[in-house]
Amino acid sequence: MLCFPNLPRVLANGKVLWEGQSRAVIQLEGEVVVKIGHDLDHGEDALLSFIAQEAPDVPIPKSLGTIVTQDMTYQFMTIIPGVTLDECWPRLSMDQKASICFQLNHMMSALRRVPYVPSHPLGSISTPHLCADNRMRKRQCPHPLFTESEFNDFLVSRPFRRVSPGYARWIRSLLRNDHRIVLTHGDFHPRNIMVVENEDHGVIVSGIIDWEMGGWYPEHWELVKAQNTRGRDDDSDWWESLPESISGYDTEVVAGHLFGKLHECILTTEPRVSRGPTSRLTRYADCAS
């Protein structure tokens, strides 16, 4: 367990790796980073520890503990070296991209092979074991769900837009209830994949980060969530390079886009700030005082 006798000072001297309106990731002394936010999912710590034990072939940060104050949550973990795949993908060669795809397929296959115990609730692996759907707006089920049928009912429940009950029932009828339940990242995107460029070995996947949306979900959910981040004008060949182990669910993706419209609303996207000069560190440090 980490020990920072003067956490506010350590935070103030840190380096901002990413920052949004209400969250930040800051590199501290040594190889430690801290994710800071008001509404962080405390289950990420438990999920990282579980994956480290059950799927050691998947490179992930090591959880170092969490501090919760009245105003903020601080999640500490080891840093994953390298740059995001999002940064370097456009300049990679076809062979390098194929290598990345092969490595990611191996990792995601290992993740999905972890046995699911049917009596375990879907969603977060830790208490209170809730499912989340953050595609159009942040939604969380009010109680644990134990079957895909219950999960699908949750997806079409409480629509943001005014829709008729018949229309909602039609959308619900498109959703299967017989998928396998597998361990899922939930935000599989190049910005959450770290790589190291090595002259001798090409490009190596050094780790997969940001497991806040992970847990036990139907097998198609990984692809549904990944494709949800794809814009209509996004012509990147990344989408043709997704791991085979999470592919093959195009029908579910199309259905997902359709019932996702039930919850569509006006959104404001938090600006992403790349690794660079510190900002707002004083505020985070003050909250730790």
The answer to whether residues 48 and 92 belong to one domain is: no
The answer to whether residues 87 and 75 belong to one domain is: no
pLDDT for 1 beyond 80? no
* Confidence (pTM): 0.88
- The answer to whether residue 72 sits within a structural domain is yes
CATH number of the domain at 138, please.
3.90.1200
pLDDT for 30 beyond 90? no
Q: Residue 66: name the closest of 15, 16, 9, 7 by CA.
A: 7
Residue-wise pLDDT for 51-92, tens only, equals 999 999 999 999 999 988 888 899 999 999 999 999 999 999
The answer to whether residues 102 and 39 belong to one domain is: no
- The answer to whether residue 93 sits within a structural domain is yes
The answer to whether residues 207 and 259 belong to one domain is: yes
pLDDT for 139 beyond 70? yes
pLDDT for 7 beyond 80? no
The answer to whether residues 20 and 87 belong to one domain is: no
- The answer to whether residue 106 sits within a structural domain is yes
Residue-wise pLDDT for 146-157, tens only, equals 999 999 999 988
Please indicate whether residue 6 or residue 244 has the higher confidence score (pLDDT). Answer: 244
| Domain housing 111 | 83-263
Rounded average pLDDT over 28-49: 90
Are the C-beta atoms of residues 194 and 206 closer than 8 Å to each other? yes
Task: Name the domain count of the chain.
Answer: 2
Instruction: Give the helix ranges, DSSP H, for the chain.
Output: 7-12, 43-54, 85-88, 94-112, 148-155, 165-173, 221-228, 250-260, 281-288
Lowest mean pLDDT among 34-38, 108-112, 149-153, 197-201: 197-201
Please provide the size of the chain in residues.
289
The answer to whether residues 118 and 245 belong to one domain is: yes
The answer to whether residues 213 and 126 belong to one domain is: yes
The answer to whether residues 174 and 60 belong to one domain is: no
- The answer to whether residue 183 sits within a structural domain is yes
pLDDT for 11 beyond 60? yes
Q: What is the pLDDT of residue 136?
A: 77
The answer to whether residues 251 and 279 belong to one domain is: no
Rounded average pLDDT over 189-208: 92
The answer to whether residues 114 and 178 belong to one domain is: yes
- The answer to whether residue 170 sits within a structural domain is yes
The answer to whether residues 123 and 259 belong to one domain is: yes
